[in-house]
Amino acid sequence: MQKPTEITITIDTECSIAGAFADPGVRKPVADKAILCEVDGKEHGVGFLLDTFKKYGIKASFFIECAHYYYFGDHPMRAVVDRIAHEKQDLQLHVHPCWMHYNKDPEIGEFPTNDSCKGRSYDELKRIFELSVNIFKSWTGKRPEALRTGSLLADLNIYQVMKDLEIPLASNVAIGVNVPDERELYLNGGRHYVDGVMELPVFSYIDSNIAGRKHIKSLQITSCSWPEMKFLLKKARAQGIENIVLLTHPFEFIKKSDPYFSKLTRNRVNQQRLEKLCKFIADNDQDFVSADFGRSHQRWIEQGARKENMLEIPSYYAFGRRLHNLMNDKIWSY
């Protein structure tokens, strides 16, 4: 009997630079509004996610950005981490190196505003990861089993650093978002060993426009319609695909008037997409289950690597999604 297809919903939980590097005299980084996303006294970010997962019995992985500690300190992420842990959801490490620029401790060192983990020296990247792991441990009481680099920028050097720091799992690749330079990292799904670290990339697939031109997309709440997601899940199940990793962020469940989070409203479309996905998993528990990195990492390692074929969707799904996303982006109250 075929075992259920595992769906791993991952949430990159992070503050926003919000234009502070470009205009430091006027703009300041944003924390609460980018994480909690409160509108009229109700949370549409982390609070919405936790409530939805609880309602449908979903286990998900929150990748917690830690380097922003050097600007904000413990607030507000430590309290958010406590809430996520209280709901027994998974916590893993996310790293945006640009936040290290705000460090004032000379013993820690100076860092540029560069936000890419890709293209750094081994020693610099190891220092950034070590510092981030230490913050993560102070907030969660454990070492991370998995790491995701900021903006899904990856190179082979990252995996060597992870191996030496004994972080066994990665989810650094989404070829529909950022295409790695190294061929070894051109991964559309499944489980893969890279320098001794198991990479589970964000699930990527092929779509096409009406003219038949094909391109690659990665599975994300904010960019993929529910009919498209449902089609992909069913096709993946039929082809025996074992792992599907999906990406989202707390701020995808609100709309903001500008990059500075000046005015917010609920993003009804994205919230409905997540609700429908969670309900689909719950209603089809013979075929699909939610799985997170923390509880699954040992089993995934024991099962070993698994390559999956890239799926393709019909062009009418892509057309419908583009129209829906355009309306959602352009109409504030849609």
Task: Quote the CA–CA distance of 189 and 192 in Å, as a whole number.
Answer: 9
How far is it, in rounded angstroms, from Cα 9 to Cα 6?
A: 10
- The answer to whether residue 210 scores a pLDDT higher than 70 is no
Band of pLDDT at residue 324, cut at 50, 70 and 90: confident
Is residue 162 a contact partner of residue 148, using CB atoms and an 8 Å limit? no
Looking at residue 320, what is its pLDDT?
A: 80
Q: What is the pLDDT of residues 238-293, one digit of tens each?
A: 999 999 999 999 999 999 999 999 999 999 999 999 999 999 999 999 999 999 99
Say if pTM beats, i.e. exceeds, 0.95: yes
Q: What is the four-CA torsion angle of 291, 296, 301, 306, rounded to 10 degrees?
A: -10
pLDDT band at residue 330 using 50, 70 and 90 as cut-offs: confident
Report strand pairing: 169-170 vs 197-199.
parallel
**Residue ranges per domain, the chain?**
5-330
Identify the residue with better confidence: 209 or 331. 331
Q: What percent of the chain has pLDDT over 70?
A: 99
246 beta partners: 9
**Whole-number pLDDT of residue 250:** 98
The single residue listed with the structure tokens 């286990």 is 59
Taking a C-beta distance cutoff of 8 angstroms, is the pair 147, 92 a contact?
Answer: yes
Tell me how far apart the alpha carbons of residues 202 and 179 are, in angstroms, rounded to a whole number.
12
pLDDT for the residue numbered 327: 85
Q: How far apart are CA 58 and CA 282, in angstroms?
A: 8
Single out the residue of 188, 170, 166, 171 nearest to residue 179, CA to CA: 188
pLDDT of the residue at 211 = 66
User: From CA 48, how far away is CA 168, in angstroms rounded?
Assistant: 30
> Where is pLDDT greater, at 321 or 127?
127
Strand partners, 275: none
pLDDT over threshold 80, residue 215: yes
Cα radius of gyration rounded to whole Å, the chain:
19
pLDDT tens for residues 20-72? 999 888 899 999 999 999 999 999 999 999 999 999 999 999 999 999 999 99
pLDDT-derived band at 319 (thresholds 50, 70, 90) equals confident
Q: What is the pLDDT of residue 259?
A: 93
Provide the mean pLDDT of the chain: 96
Helix or strand (DSSP H, E) at 164: helix 156-164
pLDDT one-digit tens code per residue, 162-208: 999 999 999 999 999 999 999 999 999 999 999 999 999 999 999 97
Is domain 5-330 annotated with CATH 3.50.30.10? no
